Every structure is written in structure tokens, then in C-alpha cells.
Chain A
Amino acid sequence: MSKTLYEKIFDAHTIVEKDDDYLLYIDRHLIHEVTSPQAFAGLEEKNRKVRRPDRTFATMDHSISTRSLALDACGPENHKQLRTLAQNCEKHGITLYDVGHKKQGIVHVMGPELGLILPGMTVVCGDSHTATHGAFGALAFGIGTSQVEHVFATQTLKQPRAKTMRITIEGELLDGITSKDIVLAIIGEIGHAGATGYVIEYAGSAIRSLSMEARMTICNMSIEGGAKAGLIAPDDITMDYLKGRDYAPKGQDWEEATRYWQSLYSDDDAVFDAEVVLKAEDIEPQVTWGTNPGQVIGVNTPVPNPDDFNDSVTKTSAVNALDYMGLEPGQLLTETPVSHVFIGSCTNSRIEDLRAAAVVAKQGKVSSSVTAIVVPGSVQVKQQAEQESLDKIFIEAGFEWRLPGCSMCLGMNDDLLKEGDRCASTSNRNFEGRQGRGARTHLVSPAMAAAAALKGKFADIRAFQE
């Protein structure tokens, strides 16, 4: 019987099938400080152990400072959480990439860098952006803390089967359009909850032509369309990325693994529960105007009027969003001043993201009315950027160059905005209060964020291309 890629991976990991629930084996479990402490405590209450510490990898990313390597730099609560992770990893024999480690980073940047994520794997983490790893053709999804505890104790998870959605993007992208614009355009098309209950497979020539880092950006934001996971079938680009990485198979194992990986694609006659098709050349530079990622427009499109929406719930959401965002219907974002720019997060903090932002940054200076920070996704990204002198370009232009971490994507450290601040952000969520109570977040690509920093308002990146 023909199968989708999702079904192939799902079936290959099913241990027990009961009613509508399947017990799935989990190949990789990534953990961080925020969603693991209660799971470790739950284990200990029951006198249970971590079944496979060798399949479990930890990092510190959410609660850490981007100005200091000191664990107590963001106050006693954060410090306690970080120390708790270190103690738990020590006790249970889990490899931890802690602050100061030369390979530490945001969990979804670090994991792929280390070669921890391989095609055909099941990957979970107590973090909704685990979908990132679907870029490798791995079934990767975020879980709650009770499930983290379940994976600790059993190396399995109970899961129902998801529906399947294929999103096909054919054609060639216009100059200056990045994978961030693609995924924002997709969410704008299907809606903030349009893929709830589905696993998305991204396909088509525009997807196939993307680098691994660009694919990670797309899969990362699958959750913002409501999807359980996003997948891209592995190909030569995937193999080239993985070869030689720390945890990637070597020698004979590599040969065997790659033979298996080549079987990981949706069969030609596989049937998806839903199909969405977009033309690459229709995608413009995207900017969100509202308080969920589905409220998004092309940079030159006027802010919509709530009256233009048909159903009352969408209309009410738009009214509330415009009120929170301090925007008027018909307003142009290219005329809207920004006070802050954040380049970072598990969506857009990899080396290619920083290179794209630097191309723009070297064309001018950060506007005097803007505070702009660049937060690399990992120590390895930071070092690579410094080898390429990108840090100098950013600093010269007036950006701050920080230490790796989740930072202002969610502000669990001191990288927080104030009420009324307006931020062009390369992160993944424009929810109310996400970057600080009363702060206004607009999601954009790294190049668009850098352009906004220079202009002091949103700008069409196509005017900045070299």
C-alpha cells in the first residue's frame, strides 16, 4: 500500500497499537531548563529512571542571559532553574550543553548542528518549535511536561494518527524572498489554526531548492499554522549537511543509513487528507500586522480593515489585534516606525540568517530611533559569524552583538520590550505580550528586520539587494 512520508515514519516506530492510540518509539529526546524540572521531579516521586539517557540531550537556552555567561545573571529564579537542569542531567547521566560549552545553543539550532537529528527519526522536546527538525525528514513534535516524563521513563509516547496535508510550492522565488516569507505566506493562506490535527509535508521545486537552514525555518513555524509537525523528504542537500557532523553515522553505518534514508519519501500515489498549492513567484516580503502569525500581509499591502473579513470571529480578532498593535485599517507598514529590531530565535538565528541580515546591515546605519540586537542561535553560529567578520558589520552599523539564547523571542531573560515598543522580529510568535507586556511584535525575515533597523520603519527588502 502506498504511504506518505509521515505514515512511513509513524509505522516504523509503532510498538503497540491500541484502539485509536499508538505507542511510538522515540529516537531522540531534547530537553531544556523550562519544561523538564517537573518531569524529573515526577520520575523521582515514583523512583523511576531515565530509560535511555544516551538518547536524551540537554541544553540551556530559554532562561539565560545574552550579556553574561553567569547563570545567576537573570536573577535567582532563573538561576535555580538552570542549576536544577544541571543537577538532573548529572544525576541521570544525560549529556548537557550548558552555558559556556563551545557547542551550547538554542535547542533547535544546536540539535541539527551536532547531527543529532537524522532522517526517519522520531524526535520530541518539551517545546512547540520541535517541528524544526522535520526539515531532515524526521517526525518531530513538541510535547508537554507529563509527556517529557513519559519519554524519560519509557522512551515512548502514546499518539493518535494525525491527518496529512501536503503543501506544494512550485516555481522560483523572487529576489529577496526567503523561507521565512514562504512560511508566513503559507500561514496567511491556511490560517493560524488551518493545519490543526495535521502533519504537513512541504513539497515542490521551491522547497527542494532550499538549503537545510532555510528548510528548518519553514518546518519550525509549522506549529504556527496549528500543525503537529512539518516534514521535508530528505535528499542530497540533507545528506551533504549531515555528513561528518558529531553524531551523524560514520563509515559503514553511514552507507547503511543513507540507503535507508533514500526510501523516505511519500509514494507517488500516496493520498493526503488535504492539499495546498502556492506559486513561489506570488510570494512577497511578508510582515505580520496582528497578534497571531496568520495575520500577515505583503510589506506594501495596506493593513486590512476588519470589515473585510466575513465571519464574526475573524472580524473580532482583527479589531482586537489592531487595537493592541496600535494600527489603523489602510495604514502602510512602510510608513510605520519601529523602535526595536530583534534578529534571533530558533526560527532565524543560523549562519545563513545572519549573513542575509549582514548584507543589508553593511548598507547603512541603524536608525537613531531604533535599538537593534543580533542574538546568534548557538556558540558555533557565533564563532562562524565572527570568523566571517559579520559581528563587525553589525556592530559597525549600530546593532548589539549578543551571546546565544532564546532571548527576546519570549523574554524569559532580561531581553524584554516595554509597553508600546514596536519590534521587527525574526522570531515566530507575535502574540500579545510575547516580547513584553504591551509590546508590539511584527514577524519578518532577517533581511527585512535589518532593513527595518536601518530605515526606522518597515521597508521592502527588494530595495536593498546588492
Chain B
Amino acid sequence: MTAEAQGFKAQTGTVCPLDQANVDTDQIIPKQFLTSVSRKGFGKHLFFDWRYNKGEPLTVNNDFVLNFPQHQGATVLLTRENFGCGSSREHAPWALTDYGFKVIIATSFADIFYGNCINNQLLPVKLSDEQIQVLFDAVAASSSVEITVDLQAQTVSCNEHEFAFEIGDAHKFTLISGLDSIGQTLLDEEKITQFEHARQTWQ
């Protein structure tokens, strides 16, 4: 995250419903794209193995939800439990944000992925199974339905529904302030130095 980053406020957008549990980061961005030394340009490879057919030349898999015409331009990804499990690769949130997602709503997230989202201004929202189902049903009924996520108020709204969600204070502050996390820590540099001086030589 950079100091120039805009803080996260509220977000309203259409939804891409990815009805799968345990979507791992190998699926989000496969290994052949990890040789890049840049943070940019991963969006076109997002969900590569599902999004494109096998073989050359590359053709789009029209059966994959991300490619459905009605879900183009979606900024909210709706999915199931344990999203982002597996590898710690931050290339996964880089690919999701580069594609255009601002919010991911799931029953649960893998820990490292969750932290990586926070550091990339991508808001991970945890809701219950029942609430997630309401949202899947709403998108199935109308693909143009919009979801509004208000981080300050910690609410998700869709049609007549409004759900509250939990997020840690520190994570919320990071997202809303958009401040450089390293710069924030360096405000405590003196304490870090004191701590270091108290370490034993073998520690």
C-alpha cells in the first residue's frame, strides 16, 4: 500500500457470484504468473484455469461465471467458505483488485489472504451461511442487483436486506485511513530500537 492510496469508504456495485467453497490462491492466480517482479498486470490472469479453455490459442470459457455477460463490471465477488486458502502469494489480491473487485463477501477467509486483502485496499467481508445464501438468491433473481458495503457502518445492504459484519479495529483503520502502514509503524521506531537493545546476543 502506498501513502497516496485512497482510503476505503463505501462501495456500491454489481456482483459476480462464485458458488464454490475452498477457492485457493492457486486458482486465483496460478504459478506460471508468479515469475513477474511487478505488482501490476495480474488481472488478466485472474482465475486463469477456470476462465480460459485449455490449449492454444487462448479462448474464453463461456461456462465460467466471471465470463457471463451479465457479470461484467462487477466490483463485488460473492463466494463461500475458506476463500483464499493455500499459498501466501499476495499476487492473489493483486489480481483481484487489478481485475476490478473492491469487496469480497464470503463465509470465511484464510488468514494470510485476509491480511493481504487489508494491505491492498480490498475489503474482505465475513457473513453467515444464511446471509450469504440470501445474497446468492438475490443475484440469481436479478443479475443487475447491487450490493452496498459501508465499511464505516460495517453493513452490507442488498434490496430490503441489511447485514452487519465484523472487522477488527486495526484492519478497519488501515482500510479507511489508506495510510502507509510502514510509516505508521515507524512512529514507534524508538520503542523498536529499545526492544532490540534489550535482546540477548543469541536471540
Contact = CB atoms under 8 A, between A and B. Distances in A.
Interaction A to B: yes
B54 A419 contact: yes
Contacts of A193: 22, 81-82, 85, 108, 110
Interface string B63-99: 0000000000000000011100111111001000000
Given A78-B35, A126-B88, A196 B108 contact: yes
Contact of A81 (B35, B85, B181): B35
Interface in A116-153: 118, 120-121, 126-128, 141-147, 149-150, 153
Given A154-B186, A156-B192, A434 B168 contact: no
A249 interface: yes
A144 B88 contact: yes
Contacts of A314: 21
Candidate in B1, B30, B120, B168 with the most chain A CB atoms within 10 angstroms: B30
A410 to B, nearest CB: 5
A412 interface: yes
B113 to A, nearest CB: 8
Interface string A245-287: 0000100011011001000000000000000000000000000
B29 to A, nearest CB: 11
B115 interface: yes
Interface string B85-128: 11111100100000000000000111110011001100000000
Contacts of B56: none
Interface in A55-95: 62-63, 77-78, 80-81, 84
B162 interface: no
B200 interface: yes
A18 interface: yes
Contacts of B59: none
A20 B169 contact: yes
B135 to A, nearest CB: 15
A196 B111 contact: yes
Interface stretch (A31-39, A176-184, A200-208, A358-366): A31-39
Contacts, number: 189
Contacts of A158: 170, 181, 185
A118 B110 CA distance: 27
B142 interface: no
Interface stretch (A103-111, A383-391, A425-433, A444-452): A425-433
Given A20-B168, A41-B37, A146-B120, A429 B86 contact: yes
Interface of B, secondary structure class, is loop
B26 A432 contact: yes
Nearest to B33: A77
B166 to A, nearest CB: 11
Contacts of B85: 192-193, 226, 292
Interface residues of A, number: 75
Contacts of A77: 35-36
A430 to B, nearest CB: 10
A142 B196 CA distance: 23
Given A23-B185, A158-B185, A320-B20, A142 B88 contact: yes
B38 interface: yes
Contacts of B130: none
Contacts of A429: 24, 26, 86-87
A188 to B, nearest CB: 14
A192 B188 contact: no
Nearest to A313: B21
A126 B89 CA distance: 8
B196 A147 contact: no
Nearest to A74: B35
Given A156-B185, A320-B20, A410-B31, A145 B90 contact: yes
Nearest to B117: A144
Contacts of B195: 15, 25
Interface string A26-47: 0100000011011001000110
A313 B84 CA distance: 16
Contacts of B120: 146
Contact of A317 (B22, B109, B173): B22
Interface string A431-465: 11110011000000000000000000000000000
Nearest to A126: B88
A121 B35 contact: no
Contacts of B27: 431-433
B137 interface: no
B170 A20 contact: yes
Interface string B12-41: 000000001110101100111011111100
12 contacts: A46-B182, A48-B182, A63-B35, A81-B35, A81-B37, A120-B203, A144-B89, A249-B201, A314-B21, A411-B31, A412-B32, A433-B27
Interface of B: 1-2, 20-22, 24, 26-27, 30-32, 34-39, 49, 54, 80-82, 85-90, 93, 108-112, 115-116, 119-120, 129, 168-170, 173, 180-182, 185-186, 188-189, 191-192, 195-196, 200-203
Given A21-B168, A23-B191, A84-B37, 10 more contacts: A19-B169, A25-B192, A35-B88, A38-B37, A128-B87, A147-B115, A155-B192, A249-B202, A317-B22, A412-B31
